[in-house]
Amino acid sequence: MLKISEHFYSIQGEGASVGVPAYFIRLQNCNLMCGGPGGCMVKDGKATWWCDSEVIWRKGVETTNEELYKSFEDQGLLKGILNGNIHLVWTGGEPTLPRHQEGIAEFLTFMRQKHIDAIPFNEIETNGTIVVKNDFYNWFEQINCSPKLANSGMSESMRVNPEAIRQIVSHEGGFFKFVISTEEDIKEIQDTFITPFDISDDQIIIMPGVDNREDLPERTRFLFEMTKKYGYRGVTRQHILAWNRVTGV
């Protein structure tokens, strides 16, 4: 069983596979609370953005493997998923919570048993704070890790887990997406993550800290200036450009 908050067909709006058709499976609950509960900035003023999916991942519905599989069939998406043209994107909340690790592995085993010759492309979106079990990451062609900076309002002890980060660094499809709001965030990225964990530049993606279409152009211009100055790949949030704050599209 999977505890699913929402699942829907869309486009990957950010990160290394931006623009690819994608089926998102959002799982319930998270071990962090970026920006404070209920989309409110934390009182100490350290948060410059908040989690824009919190209202969704707080809820969830128990879903069987058969029910999720049938949703692919009913929408006419199964062939595209099986041949890898439509990516499966496991997100949250936090999909590496122990219960979710078990549920995802069971579902993908179920899919493999039904379609031995399939070549699906699985992505997982994680905050990189949980050490995964055994060979869990072997299920995924791509890991989209979004480590949290001080601008999330979370303490460093909660948002930096060295062993969990190293698991992702060593994965051949491991990428690190950082939300930046100021130039100082770049220095924090370098001092807290890139240098200590020897993350290569081609694994680094920077994105703007923005959750609405009105501020997206200015924040994207800032992002691109940082991209030119520091050389890291800058990717804006295309789903906000298309749908603003609407979720599930």
Render pLDDT for 182-204 as a digit per residue (tens, 0 to 9): 999 999 999 999 999 999 999 99
DSSP 192: I
Q: pLDDT tens-digit profile of 72-113?
A: 999 999 999 999 999 999 999 899 999 999 999 999 999 999
Q: pLDDT tens-digit profile of 147-163?
A: 998 877 778 888 999 99
Regarding beta strands 87-91 and 2-11, do their DSSP bridges make them parallel or antiparallel, or are they unpaired?
Answer: unpaired
Higher pLDDT, residue 246 or 226: 226
pLDDT for residue 240: 93
Percent of the chain exceeding pLDDT 70 equals 90
Distance (Å, whole) CA 19 – CA 15 = 9
- pLDDT band, residue 134 (cuts 50/70/90): confident
Answer positive or negative: Cα dihedral of 53, 56, 62, 68: negative
* Mean pLDDT over the full length of the chain: 91
pLDDT for residue 151: 77
Identify the structural domains of the chain with CATH numbers, from first to last: 2-243 (3.20.20.70)
Q: pLDDT tens-digit profile of 48-79?
A: 545 656 667 668 899 999 999 999 999 999 99
**Closest by Cα among 68, 60, 78, 65 to 6:** 60
Q: Which CA distances in Å does 94 have to 54, 120, 142, 183, 216? A: 11, 21, 16, 27, 25
Q: Mapping DSSP to helix (H, G, I), strand (E, B) and coil, where does residue 201 land? A: helix
pLDDT for residue 154: 79
